[in-house]
């Protein structure tokens, strides 16, 4: 999935060492606000891996297109969503067009308009 927006917050990076392998890890979270909508929405997403974080080079105020995956995980009986970016592009103008909402096709034959001036069944008192 893709979303286009402006970065409004860059959260503190988190890092640690994997218990199983002993390898270091780093994760950075960002907050994006959609642009070009009547009611902008906010979304927090993360980038995992120091090399990918540096490659994305995201700063507050950047307009970006984020390609991401959504996954849910359970912890202590509660479920949490994880929105993980796998590509970030600073080329907003060259972005793929947003998905168009589903629009039902018009019926083949239009029904007669009951409120048309030529309709003789008009029983309104005015």
Residue 92 contacts residue 65 (beta carbons within 8 Å): yes
In the chain the domains, ranked by start, together with CATH numbers, are 2-89 (2.40.50.140)
For residues 57-77, average pLDDT: 95
Residue 91 contacts residue 98 (beta carbons within 8 Å): no
- pLDDT of residue 111 exceeding 60, the answer is no
- pLDDT of residue 104 exceeding 60, the answer is no
Nearest-angstrom CA–CA distance, 55 and 62 = 14
Q: What is the structure's pLDDT at 120? A: 56
pTM of the model: 0.69
* Residue 25: both structure tokens together: 């890890």
């Amino acid at each position: 999935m893709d979303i286009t927006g402006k970065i409004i917050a860059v959260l503190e990076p988190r890092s640690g060492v994997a218990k199983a392998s002993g390898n270091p890890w780093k994760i950075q979270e960002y907050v994006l606000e959609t642009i070009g909508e009547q009611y902008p929405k906010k979304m927090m997403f993360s980038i995992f891996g120091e090399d990918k974080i540096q490659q994305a080079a995201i700063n507050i105020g950047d307009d970006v297109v984020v390609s991401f995956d959504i996954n849910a995980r359970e912890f202590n009986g509660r479920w949490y969503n994880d929105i993980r970016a796998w590509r970030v592009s600073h080329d907003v103008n060259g972005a793929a067009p947003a998905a168009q909402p589903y629009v039902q096709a018009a019926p083949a034959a239009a029904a007669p308009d009951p409120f048309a001036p030529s309709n003789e069944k008009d029983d309104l008192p005015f």
